[in-house]
Amino acid sequence: CAGDAAVKIAFQLPLFLVAYGGDRLTMYRHMHEQLGYVTPFAGGVALHLHSQVGAVMNSKDQPRGPYLGAMVVPERCMGASTLIFQSTGPEHTRMRELLRSTLVGLSKARDPEAFDAGLLPEAEPFDGSVAAYSEERVKRTLVRNLWFRLFKSEADEALESTLLSYYTWGGVCVLGDTLHALTLGKLLDPVEVIRKNVYEGAVATQVGQDVLQSGRAEGFSEQDAVALLMQLVDGFMFAGLLGTGHLVTHTLARIWGDPHTYLPMWRKDRASFLLESARLDPPVTSVTAVLGEAKNMSVASGWGGTGHRTVHLERGTTAQLVISEANVDP
């Protein structure tokens, strides 16, 4: 009914803001501080404590489903067989090993000195005489390097442009099926075109052909072999471009924001600097699991910490694991 649709949209509104550059860290922090460590989230619950998140993330059996941000992901965005949607177990392990063995020996970065060649402040004192930080320039460099590293091939101008457009449209995948139904799927049209074009770019590489052949050698049908390569393409764009893109752009922006403080730290130990940046401002602020069994949980009810109530959650209920909060849980 219309009332139910309105409620669903209300739940999806924070995720809509997230998809278009909303501050996810602030959103989750507000939920945690105002409501507690188990909060309502998109028809399920969100878990904020390190112990809660770790219990699921470190378990051998992690029940999952076709969710991003606890919303069902449309097939036009990402196939249901994608690894991040599969519960861990023998089949998940087999698929991971198949892709890993096919992709052994990833290429070195196309431009290994890229982040010391114009993307970081170079001159001292930092008085505005050096070029300003450019997120667009960083993303373009990332696209070129990540594509070359995975597919061992240069992205031509058309493919590069297509990949860059995913930064604009990829986030609509977390908006949920209700909103996409109300917008007649128009927001998914560009995503579908991007996926098609990037798949064609992948097929044109030797790595793409190797992935298809690996699937066939495993006895996959041609459709399943194509789905295997499409899974790699989707993972490259969603996790590689959006996830890695978030970490790199935010890390560089932090350095540019206070080069006197951060540039020496970066030069001293890049790996540690990136890890700490990922802890404080993770590229993946949360992931969706589902409850493997029914359970009763004390869930916040009302804003401003006004109370909690025991709720019976059925098996399969979504549980959003809030990594960004768990990372700073003392």
Mean pLDDT in runs of 10 for the chain (330 residues)? 41 45 71 83 89 86 85 86 84 84 62 51 49 79 90 94 95 81 89 96 95 92 92 92 90 88 92 92 90 88 68 91 89
In the block, tokens 């010391």 appear at 116
d(CA 89, CA 93): 6
Q: Alpha helices, DSSP H only, in 110-258?
A: 135-151, 157-169, 177-182, 188-203, 206-217, 222-235, 245-257
Burial class (CB in 10 A: 0-12, 13-18, 19+), 40: middle
Residue 154 DSSP code = -
Q: Which two tokens stand for residue 122?
A: 């170079």
By the 8 A CB rule, do 216 and 222 touch? Answer: yes
Q: Supply the angle between the helices 206-217 and 90-102 in degrees, to the nearest 10.
A: 140
Q: Is 282 helix (H, G, I), strand (E, B) or coil?
A: coil
10 Å Cβ neighbour count for 322? 28
pLDDT number for residue 116: 47
CA–CA distance from 172 to each of 8, 248, 308 (Å)?
16, 21, 32
d(CA 214, CA 217): 5
- Give 157-195 as a 3 state SS string: HHHHHHHHHHHHHHHHHHCCHHHHHHCCCCCHHHHHHHH
For residue 190, give the nearest of 207, 208, 173, 212 by alpha carbon.
Answer: 173
Tens of pLDDT, residue by residue over 258-315, are 888 999 999 999 999 999 999 988 988 889 999 888 989 888 876 555 678 888 999 9
pLDDT number for residue 19: 42
Strands 44-47 and 318-322, sheet pairing: parallel
Tens of pLDDT, residue by residue over 134-164, are 788 889 988 998 999 899 999 999 999 999 9
Interior angle at CA 82, CA 143 and CA 174, nearest 5: 70
d(CA 85, CA 63): 9
pLDDT number for residue 4: 43
For residue 291, give the nearest of 312, 266, 322 by alpha carbon.
Answer: 312
